[in-house]
Amino acid sequence: MLKRVLHLSAILLLAIAMNNCANSITPPGGGPKDETAPTVIETNPANGSANFIGNEFIIKFNEFISLENIQQSALISPPMAKMPDFKIKGKSIQVKFNEELMPNTTYSVYFGDAITDITEKNPLSNYIYIFSTGKFVDSLSIFGKVINAFNLEPVEGAYVGLYKDNNDTIEFDSLPYLIPPYYLSKTDKNGKFRFSGLSNNYFFAFGLNDKNSNFFFDQPVEEIAFLDSLIHPIFIPTISLDTINSDSSDIATLDTNSFKKEKSFTTDSLFIEKYGIDLYMFTSKDTIQRLLKAVVPAKNKILFSFSQPANNVTFKKLKYQLSDSLILSEYSANSDTLVWYLNNPTIDSLELLIKEYGDTLGIAYLKLDPSKKSARVREKEEGKKEFLSWKSNISSSTLEPDGKLQITFNQPMIKFNNVDSSILVINADTILNPEIIFVDSIRRTIEIPFKVEEETKYYISFPDSAFTSWNNIHSKEIEIRFKTLPTSDYGFLTLKLFPHEKQNYIIQMLNEKEEILNEAYFSNDTTITYNYIKPQTVQFKIIFDDNNNHKWDPGDLTKDLQPEKVQYFPKEIKIRANWEIAEEWKF
């Protein structure tokens, strides 16, 4: 009996122990996610070796790895005609060259973010393998970043090329057009780039958003950046090449969020600020005049679009003559679009020879009736009366307290029938025959002047046929209801500007999408007051308007001209309803 009790006790204790063990076991599938990049444990020959012989090298890692888009990520400096072969062997990468190496030359093989672990794809960023076929390894470096010149955003994926100062027969501004760079690098997501293993020489530096991946500046849409002076690399001591190639840990890391927010010309990396270079990237201005299109978007309307302002463009009618008195011209704000409004032409086609300063831009063949409807449908619709279309500048049924009510028609007006039934109602007060003013030269836009009061309801009405176009088309009845909000719904801001130098500036107020809310021009100390701002977050941007044309201009490599400098106010400003804010900006 005693033995039986002892046996049962042992079973019970064993069951309790097993239950405790089961409760302490974590089910599979948990644990923290692996976010660690692979680590280089050995290179053969050693990274940074001199007297390199053979045609391959091997990099060993602490885990199994993969290569992601290696053909697009890898860069070899000096450039090679044939890309090396990259093969994975277990926890190693074998790199085999497909052409003979030059003697007494330091090479660098840049991997970008191509090396990742095999499971979570964590990249070993910006790894570089350096070797020399000579007795010593060139050990100088250049660091920097590429920045969009217009908005100061870092540019990712741009190539940066270095050219030796030994091209006596090729002008500086022709280098990226005619020869490939001697050294190549590529920017990371923060716009940073680096060169290692550079020789003791002076270099020209160019940045290129290379659309066709041939390392030449040969496409009009390709963005370019350049330094207008020579640069010399510096020596930066490091413990081991294999210890500095993970995410550029030999330089201070850029605080991307701070860089994006402040957008100033100073950097967040003390290292780059002291030793690095900034390349400001831009798209070259297209200075060649071109006729982009000539179309008939609607009846009695022709639209011409050009690559440049068209103020000096001339038109010669080759066939089907059309009197100039039947044409009213309207240019866009920057004059690169021209619209002709026609007064019931009797011809159905027009052929135009378009020139500028004697150069032929093109010949336009235009059918003046753009309708694609069948003859049967057109015949059926001929009996229907055509009316003018219009739009007002009222947004969300609200007019700002300092705004002006405007109405724009689709055709020029020839007549306003100011009859007694035209009314403007302000709250309960009615004004008969409100005044109108044509604000443009071809009489398409009218303004209704009246004193705008806050927190007021308005109603304006024009009867049927109050407006007549020069094509004898009449308007239907026009009714617009809108209101103004109380002043307390808006914010107010005063900005005092103190430039260090007297020159031409553009100051822009931008919303969070960088859309322009307000633009002004000044040249010295000034104060700008912004009234009736809707609650939102705004930022300010200054353009150094060197040529005083009231717009930002990109650079011009052929003229050794950098893009116009821009600068952002160091902080965003939150506009609150019924608040007044005062700011100062010294720049």
Rounded Cα–Cα distance for residues 160 and 187 (Å): 8
In a domain, 26, yes or no: no
pLDDT band of residue 15 (cuts 50, 70, 90) is very low
pLDDT band of residue 305 (cuts 50, 70, 90) is very high
Lowest mean pLDDT among 21-35, 40-54, 204-218, 488-502: 21-35
> Pick from 197, 312, 212: which is nearest to 244 by CA?
197
pLDDT in tens, 235-246: 876 544 444 343
And the tokens for 181? Answer: 């760079």
pLDDT in tens, 174-217: 888 888 888 988 898 899 998 988 989 999 999 998 887 777 88
pLDDT in tens, 246-262: 333 333 323 323 223 33
Rounded Cα–Cα distance for residues 234 and 238 (Å): 13
Residues 144 and 127 grouped into a single domain:
no
In a domain, 457, yes or no: yes
Q: What is the pLDDT of residue 272?
A: 47
In a domain, 24, yes or no: no
And the tokens for 447? Answer: 């303004």
pLDDT in tens, 329-349: 999 988 999 999 999 888 889
Can you give the residue range of the structural domain that contains 468? 390-485
Q: Check pLDDT > 60 for residue 28.
A: no
Q: What is the pLDDT of residue 405?
A: 95
Distance of CA 169 to the CA centre of its chain: 36
Q: What is the pLDDT of residue 173?
A: 81
Q: What is the pLDDT of residue 38?
A: 94
- Residue of higher predicted confidence among 529 and 255: 529
Q: Check pLDDT > 90 for residue 458.
A: yes
Q: What is the pLDDT of residue 237?
A: 67
In a domain, 157, yes or no: yes
Residues 271 and 296 grouped into a single domain:
no
In a domain, 184, yes or no: yes
Q: What is the pLDDT of residue 496?
A: 97
Residues 324 and 416 grouped into a single domain:
no
Q: Please report, rounded to a whole number, the percentage of residues in the chain having pLDDT higher than 90.
A: 61
Q: What is the pLDDT of residue 379?
A: 57
Q: Which bin fits 500, alpha (ψ -120 to 50), beta or left (φ > 0)?
A: alpha
Residues 145 and 279 grouped into a single domain:
yes
Lowest mean pLDDT among 79-93, 262-276, 301-315, 429-443: 262-276
Contact 233, 143 (CB under 8 A): no
Q: Please report, rounded to a whole number, the percentage of residues in the chain having pLDDT higher than 70.
A: 85
pLDDT band of residue 171 (cuts 50, 70, 90) is confident
In a domain, 564, yes or no: yes
Q: What is the pLDDT of residue 347?
A: 87
Residues 116 and 247 grouped into a single domain:
no
In sequence order, what are the beta bridge partners of 194?
A: 143
And the tokens for 284? Answer: 């070259």
Per the structure, the count of domains in the chain is 5
Who contacts 45 (Cβ-Cβ below 8 Å, separation ≥6)? 52, 57, 131
Last residue of a domain, one of 317, 336, 371: 371
CATH number at residue 338: 2.60.40
Q: What is the pLDDT of residue 125?
A: 82
Q: What is the pLDDT of residue 11?
A: 36
In a domain, 383, yes or no: no
Q: What is the pLDDT of residue 427?
A: 85
Q: What is the pLDDT of residue 235?
A: 85
Rounded Cα–Cα distance for residues 393 and 447 (Å): 10
pLDDT in tens, 396-430: 899 998 899 999 999 999 988 866 678 888 887 88
pLDDT band of residue 5 (cuts 50, 70, 90) is very low
Residues 192 and 125 grouped into a single domain:
no
Q: Check pLDDT > 70 for residue 356.
A: yes
Mean pLDDT of 275-303: 92
Rounded Cα–Cα distance for residues 582 and 586 (Å): 14
Residues 327 and 239 grouped into a single domain:
no
Rounded Cα–Cα distance for residues 442 and 420 (Å): 26
Q: What is the pLDDT of residue 258?
A: 29
Sheet containing 491-498: order of strands: 526-533, 491-498, 580-586
Q: Check pLDDT > 80 for residue 225.
A: yes
Mean pLDDT of 152-179: 87
Residues 303 and 261 grouped into a single domain:
no
Q: How many CA atoms lie within 13 A of 391 on its CB side?
A: 3
Q: What is the pLDDT of residue 257?
A: 30
Residues 186 and 227 grouped into a single domain:
yes
Q: What is the pLDDT of residue 212?
A: 78
Average of per-residue pLDDT values in the chain = 85
Residues 324 and 361 grouped into a single domain:
yes
Rounded Cα–Cα distance for residues 505 and 515 (Å): 18
Q: What is the pLDDT of residue 571?
A: 96
CATH number at residue 418: 2.60.40.3710
Q: What is the pLDDT of residue 261?
A: 31
And the tokens for 127? Answer: 């790894």
Mean pLDDT of 112-134: 91
Evaluate the omega torsion of the peptide bond into residue 84 and state whether it is cis, within 30 degrees of 0: no
Last residue of a domain, one of 81, 114, 132: 132
Rounded Cα–Cα distance for residues 346 and 350 (Å): 11
Please give the C-alpha separations between residue 187 and each of 86, 125, 270, in angstroms, as whole numbers.
22, 11, 18
Q: Check pLDDT > 90 for residue 286.
A: no
Rounded Cα–Cα distance for residues 204 and 210 (Å): 18
Q: Which of 163-167, 235-239, 259-263, 385-389 has the highest mean pLDDT?
A: 385-389
Who contacts 516 (Cβ-Cβ below 8 Å, separation ≥6)? 508, 509, 510
pLDDT in tens, 362-373: 999 999 876 555
pLDDT band of residue 146 (cuts 50, 70, 90) is very high
Mean pLDDT of 289-296: 96
Residues 359 and 405 grouped into a single domain:
no
Q: Check pLDDT > 90 for residue 275.
A: no
Last residue of a domain, one of 468, 485, 502: 485
Q: What is the pLDDT of residue 166?
A: 80
- Residue of higher predicted confidence among 102 and 348: 102
Rounded Cα–Cα distance for residues 471 and 305 (Å): 24
Residues 171 and 262 grouped into a single domain:
yes
pTM: 0.78
Q: What is the pLDDT of residue 535?
A: 96
Rounded Cα–Cα distance for residues 245 and 410 (Å): 63
Rounded Cα–Cα distance for residues 417 and 169 (Å): 73
In a domain, 541, yes or no: yes
pLDDT band of residue 274 (cuts 50, 70, 90) is low
CATH number at residue 64: 2.60.40.1220
